[in-house]
A = this chain, B = another copy of it.
Amino acid sequence: MLKVSQLWCWSLGATKMQKDFFSTKLPQEVFSLFGLFSPVSREKISLEQSFNRVLAEDLMAPQDLPGFPRATMDGYAVVSKDTFAASEAFPVWLKVVGEVRMGEIPKYDLQRGEAIKISTGGMLPQGADAVVMVEHTQIVDQDTIEVFKPVAPLQNIVLADEDFAKGELILPQGHRLRPQDIGILAAFGKQEVLVYKRPKVALISTGDEVIPIEQHPLPGQVRDINSYTLSALVEESGGVPLRMGIIKDDPKQLRTFCHEALDKADVVLISGGSSVGMRDFTLEVIRSLSGSEVLFHGIAVSPGKPTLLGKVGHKAIWGLPGQVTSAIVVFLIFVKKFIKWVGGERNFPLQEFRIVKAKMRINVPSVQGREDYLRVRVYREGDTFWAEPVFGKSGLINSLIRADGLVKIDLGKEGLYKDEEVEVILF
């Protein structure tokens, strides 16, 4: 314990030790804090631009779909009763009285003993209640067909309201629009869609050693990897990245940048100065902003422990670890869901499934009392997916280049065994 408290003294000063020690959160506690933040405002956009956007209202069917009874096969519209006795040996003969033209209301009402030629998608004529597939018929002459197989009532057709009935809920508020969802909006003639705005996410890079990418680094300096990596991650999460630039390890400058960022954006990400001093004053600067509250400072996750979340008015400031590997892990586990949450998304079936089950290739030890995220390469042998750890110091980005995803080692586990089944969260 002595050694742990010493660490906290180093970084925070002894007077704050106790308070901040207890502000370390478990992952589940972090997620439960999301409810303190509301979604961004809404906007109307054109259907063409709505792919991957988040619905901001429940979508109900404004009318029946398809709106009229349709054939689902090529063949003949018939009265199903007429075909009940049909067989290969004793086909039924029907009189062909016309053809349904695509896109038009059929000109004939069907009578018993009659058939009307129809294509997939054609409107069923009055009097007909089924379609005989063309494969089950034979042309006898210009006006007559043989039917070899009976059809049941409603067979090979869809009813006017069978896809969606007027008033039915099609898609709920908070649903991210997939291609088929765009299709259903088109079907109902929705040229505009009410969606949540894409959350604006301001990115501040900090550190005396960090330089813009267009400069050539001197020994001791590194280019600003984080804000470019985080920009792409923000895009992937449905947000709009705003790169604010790089600041030195200077609380005054950080405070100015925070004010500006809170003005322009819904969420602020500070990718933390790697120096110890910087970590302190990120916390102090957030505390000093009016109306601010630090929700936590430290999470029981490795890598990613020094993460913090502050609330300033209704906006959020995240302090992320300075090492890019840690920053990416924290982003994928927490910040991505947070941006989606603020972006109004409430219904994540797919996101949850960007997971593949794999078997561990080797034993991996871990530390109890925190969630460990292991970088792994995934490959396939026959029906088995294998997860092979990609080791690498957390200051190195190459492990992330070689890896395909992350494996979580739960708080209570001492590690993973070879051949144990794990879930890989894919990049």
Contact = CB atoms under 8 A, between A and B. Distances in A.
A274 interface: yes
Given A180-B400, A182-B229, A184-B401, A135 B4 contact: yes
A357 B226 CA distance: 34
Interface string A153-183: 0000010001110000011000001111111
Chain copies in the assembled complex: 2
A190 B228 CA distance: 11
A162 B123 contact: no
Contact of A220 (B105, B211, B216, B393): B105
A190 B214 CA distance: 8
Interface stretch (A13-21, A64-72, A257-265, A285-293): A64-72
Contact of A225 (B183, B221, B228, B385): B183
A397 B189 contact: no
A397 B229 contact: no
A210 interface: yes
Given A7-B134, A228-B47, A162 B396 contact: yes
Contacts of A184: 225, 397, 401
B183 A138 contact: no
A120 interface: yes
A355 interface: yes
A298 to B, nearest CB: 15
A238 interface: no
Contacts of A181: 401
A289 to B, nearest CB: 25
Nearest to A178: B427
Interface stretch (A309-317, A346-354, A366-374): A346-354
A328 B178 CA distance: 12
Contacts of A211: 103
A363 interface: no
26 contacts: A3-B136, A10-B74, A72-B393, A102-B220, A102-B249, A102-B275, A103-B221, A104-B220, A119-B276, A121-B395, A163-B396, A178-B232, A178-B427, A179-B236, A179-B328, A180-B229, A182-B229, A183-B324, A184-B225, A184-B397, A187-B222, A349-B404, A350-B404, A350-B426, A352-B380, A353-B404
Given A103-B221, A182-B228, 16 more contacts: A48-B228, A48-B231, A68-B219, A74-B276, A103-B208, A103-B209, A104-B220, A119-B276, A121-B222, A121-B274, A162-B396, A170-B401, A179-B427, A180-B400, A184-B397, A350-B404
